[in-house]
Chain A
Amino acid sequence: MMGWNRLRWFFPMLILAGAILVFVLRSTMNDYVLSIVCFTGINIILAVSLNVTNGFTGLFSLGHPAFMAVGGYVAAILTFPVARKAMLLPALPAWLAAQQWSLLPALILGGLGATFAAFRVGFSVLRLKGHYLAVATLGFLIILQVLITNLESYTRGPLGLNGLPMLTNLWWVYVWAVITIYVCWKVKHSSLGRSMLAIRENEIAAECLGIPLARTRIMSFALGAFFAGVAGGLWAHLVTAITPTTFSVIMAFNLVVMVVVGGSGSITGAAFAAVMLTVVVEVLRPLEESLEAYGISEVIVAIGLLLILLYRPQGLFGSQEPAFVVRQRQRVSGEVGRASSYQNGKGGGIKSIF
C-alpha cells in the first residue's frame, strides 16, 4: 500500500513545491528575473501543448504561433480598457468597445477562439501528412498574420495593440502551466492518449482497430490549440503589447525545437526543453550585448538541435516520462519489478541525463 500512498501524494506535493517556489521567487526576485520566469512558464505551456499535436498524434504542425495569435488578440481586445479602446480602436463595433473583461474569462475565450480556429483549419488540412501538413500549417500562420495586419478596425493592423494592462503574473502562468501539464498527462496515460500514439505509430493499423482517424487528429490539434490560445493571452498581458509579427515562423521553429529536443511524446521532455531553451537564450543575451555579436543565441540553439538530431534523434526523453514516475505508476497496479524493462527500449535515456 506504500506505493499507492506515495503516488497519491507525489503530484500534489510537486504542485505545492512549485507554488512555494513561485511565492519565494515573487518575494525575492526583481521584475526582470520574474518576467524571464514567466516567459519560461509560458514556453512550458506552449511546448507541452504542442507535444499533444506533434508528439502524441504525430501531426507535424508549425501553426502553434497562429493559435497563440488568435488567443492573444481575442484576450487583448477583451481586457483593453474602454477609454483606450475609444482612442486606439475607434472603428470597433459598439458592443465590443463597451467590454472590459478580467483576465480569466478573456484567457478562456481566447483559448476557445484558438480551438475554433483549429477545428476550422483542421477539417481541411489534417488529411495531409508529414511535410505537406507542416507546409500547410505554415501557410495558415502566414495567412493569419496577413489577416491580422489587415483587420485594422479590430487589431490596429501592423501597429499592434500596446499599453495593455499588465495582468499576467507568475501565479497566472504557474496555474495555467499546471493545468496544461495535468490535462496532457491525463490524456497521455489514458486510452485516448494510446489511440493518439497509435495513430502516430501506424495510421492504417490504428484505423483498422476502430480508432477514428479524422476525429482523433482534430481532437489533438484542437486540444493543443486551446492551450496555445491561453498562452497567447498570457503572453500579451505580460509584454503588454501585441503585434502581428510577434507570432512568427521563428517562434514556430523554437517551439518545434523544444518538442524535438525533449522527445516527441514526452511531457517531461517538452517542459525540460522549454526551460532549457528559454534560460539559455536569456543567459546568452548579456553575452551578445557585450560582444556585440547579436544572434549568437540562435546559432547556439541551432547547433544544439543539430547535435541532438545527430546523436539522439529520439530526443532527450524519447516518448517516455522519467523512470521514477513511471515506476510509481506501475507499483500502483501491483506490478513491481517489470518497471525496469520500460527503460530498456530506445526511449529510456533518462539515466544518461540525470
Chain B
Amino acid sequence: MATEDALLLEVEGLGKQFGGVRALEGYNLTLKEGELMGLIGPNGAGKTTVFNLITGVLRPTKGHIFFRGKDITHSRPDQNAALGMARTFQNIRLFNQLSVIDNVKAGVHMRHGAGLWATVLNLPNLRRSEQAIEERALEILSTFGLMDYKEELAENLPYGDQRKVELGRALATAPKLLLLDEPAAGMNPQETGEIIRLISRIHQEHDLTILLIEHDMKVIMGACESIQVIDRGEVLCLGTPEEIQNDHRVIEAYLGKSKGEGHA
C-alpha cells in the first residue's frame, strides 16, 4: 500500500440515480498525486456524471469522495475549487460575452480577488489584487499562445482556441487536480496533437494530477499513464494503455460480443 498522504483523490462506492435511471453504481477511483489517468467508456457510460459528482455539480445518492484528506461528498463546486479542483466541460462553457483575458481573470478571482469594501473604497490592496490578477492571467495567456486574442470576445474565437481558453481558465485557479472532459473533442489532428503537448506540459510544469475523459484513442494512449474503463455506470477495469487495448471486456463494451463468443 502506498503512503496515505500521496493520495489526492479517493472515491468509494459512488452512486447516482436520476429518477429511475441508475447513472452510476459502486464507482471507485484512487488518484495519486502527479498521476495522469484516462477515463474512457462508451457513450452514456457515466463518465461526465463521475466528473459532475466529484466537482459537486451533482450530489451523489451513495458513496463518499475524499479530496486531499477531506470528505467533500456534499461540498459545493466553489468549495471544491477552493480546495484545488478545476475542470473543463464537454460542451465548452466559456463566458462568451467577456474578453479572453477576462475569462482567465475570472479564474484567478478566487485566489487573488478583492472583496466588496476594498473595491468600493479603493483600498490599497485593490491595486495589488488587480495587479496580481493581471500578471497571472497574462502568464497563462502566453503559455497557451493566446496573447493575440487577449481582448477578443470569447465567443468570437475558433473552436480549438475556445478549448484552450477553457483549459487556461481552469489552470488560473491554481488547482491540484484537473478534470478534463474531452479536451480534444471536435479538433482536427493537428490541433489534437497540440492539445496533447499542452496537457503533458502543464501536467509537469504545474505539478498537477489530471483525470481525463476522451474518445480520441490517440489522446488517451499518447498522454495517459493509466486508464480506467467504465460501462453502464460501473467500473469495467483499470490498467496501462497496453493492458486496456488488449482487454477483451473493453473490446466487448465498445464493439459488442462476436457471434461465436455470444453462443459459447
Contacts and interface: CB of A to CB of B under 8 A. Distances in A.
Interface of A: 183, 186-187, 190-195, 197-198, 201-202, 204-213, 219, 223, 265, 318-319, 333, 338-339, 341-342, 344-347
B150 A206 contact: no
A260 to B, nearest CB: 15
B241 interface: no
19 contacts: A187-B119, A191-B113, A191-B114, A194-B98, A198-B106, A202-B94, A204-B93, A205-B95, A206-B106, A207-B57, A207-B77, A207-B78, A208-B57, A208-B86, A209-B173, A211-B106, A212-B78, A219-B116, A347-B153
Interface in B108-156: 108-116, 119-120, 122, 126, 129-130, 133-134, 150-153, 155-156
Contacts of A202: 93-96
B87 interface: yes
Contacts of A341: 151-152
A186 B122 contact: yes
B151 A339 contact: yes
Contacts of B153: 344-347
A241 B27 CA distance: 66
A224 B11 CA distance: 42
B109 A342 contact: no
Given A187-B120, A201-B96, A209-B169, A195 B106 contact: yes
A56 to B, nearest CB: 11
A195 B111 CA distance: 12
Contacts of A195: 106, 109, 113
A192 B114 contact: yes
Given A205-B93, A205-B94, A192 B151 contact: no
Contacts of B95: 197-198, 201-202, 205-206
Contacts of B28: none
Contacts of B94: 201-202, 205
B66 interface: no
Contacts of B113: 190-192, 195
A209 B112 contact: no
B7 to A, nearest CB: 22
A345 B152 contact: yes
Contacts of A219: 116
Nearest to A188: B119
A326 B155 CA distance: 20
B82 interface: yes
B156 A210 contact: no
Nearest to B115: A192
Query: Max chain B CB contacts within 10 Å: which of A190, A206, A339, A345?
Result: A190
A208 B57 CA distance: 8
Interface in B150-174: 150-153, 155-156, 169-170, 172-173
A211 B150 contact: no
Contacts of B169: 209
A210 B113 CA distance: 11
A319 B98 CA distance: 9
B104 to A, nearest CB: 10
A265 B95 CA distance: 14
Interface in B85-109: 86-87, 89, 93-99, 102, 105-109
A209 B89 contact: no
B152 A344 contact: yes
B44 to A, nearest CB: 21
Contacts of B65: none
Contacts of A342: 99, 151
Nearest to B84: A210
Nearest to A183: B120
Interface string B168-195: 0110110000000000000000000000
Nearest to A219: B116
A32 to B, nearest CB: 36
B226 interface: no
